[in-house]
Structure 1
Amino acid sequence: MKYLIVGLGNIGPEYADTRHNIGFMILDKLAKEENCQFFNMRLAYYTDFKFKGRQICLIKPTTYMNLSGKALAYWMKEEHIPIENVLVLVDDLALPFGTLRLKPKGSAAGHNGLKHIEATLGNNNYARLRFGIGDNFPKGRQVDYVLDGFDKEELPELPALIDRSIEMIKSFVTIGTELTMTKFNK
């Protein structure tokens, strides 16, 4: 069994620790825990590892957020991974900071990365782990907010939230979406 875990974000040091790059941050920590290294390959930084008899492929698209679907579609095809074994990690303004939600499918909710994935795949039937970043920004300043770092009040909580996200990824690949939702979505 193969799984594709897609961390959404933007490449480049100016985006490194921003809210929009939480998908990259989660995969970086997971790769480190599993002693694997990302390689710059076609359309993404790629690595993989074995976990409980499953092959877990991790990608961080190098296409920038707004073209994330290109990398996801390429690696699904390259690795022969069905849509039900794909999980997208995404920042979410609609959820308060600290909230993690696994969903089996859903709308893009205005997120450009998800919009492009949906347009590329022709559907929204892929699981996503929504990482709440809150919406604490003045009207019209959404772009600045998502491309900014986490607040000093949020930073101490970030490592535990990233660890919990990793637990949810491992649960997704072992027991599936529904049971993982039951276990973790509170």
Structure 2
Amino acid sequence: MRCSEAVDQLQLYLDGRLPMERTRALEAHLARCASCRAELELLEEVVRHLESLQMVAEPADLSLRIMERVALTPQQQPSSILAQLRPSPGELLAAALLATIASLGSLLTQPALLRLLPMEGGPLMGLLASVIHLLQSMDATTLTLVCWILGTLVGICITLLVVGEELRSRWLRAVWERLPVLH
């Protein structure tokens, strides 16, 4: 038996709740190990001191006072299932953002719609046309990787929008501390 196992079993030994085979193994270990014997003596001393303490009588009206306090506390009304399922404003914003991204992604892959867009218009349309052309010219593996990275980044952004300010600042601080280049 190792010392760590013996120390873990000392309280059960003192309480008489250790099975017989474990008791024999522990007593054999205690016969060989001075450190564990000292630990047992320390625990026995603590038990003796605790047993010598006098019990404090509880006040006669303790239960009554506790029950009065419980009765005076405002009772929480159980909320309805619909109220529990109602999304928070952050969750609504995240869902709207995802729906917008998905809709734009599916609409902008339609060739008939692309012909209707004024691509020669401004710099934004030129950028959009370049991005669409780049996405269409990628092979499947690269496109999957790009979508995975963008999806992960969008998911992180949505998560950070939905969580509270304290959690968001704690996460950003943890990320900032792990960036070796910036320190």
TM range (shorter): under 0.3
User: Rg bigger for which structure?
Assistant: 2
What is the TM-score of this pair, normalised by structure 2? Answer: 0.24
Which structure has the higher relative contact order (CA within 8 Å, separation 6+)? 1
Which has more strand, going by share of residues? 1
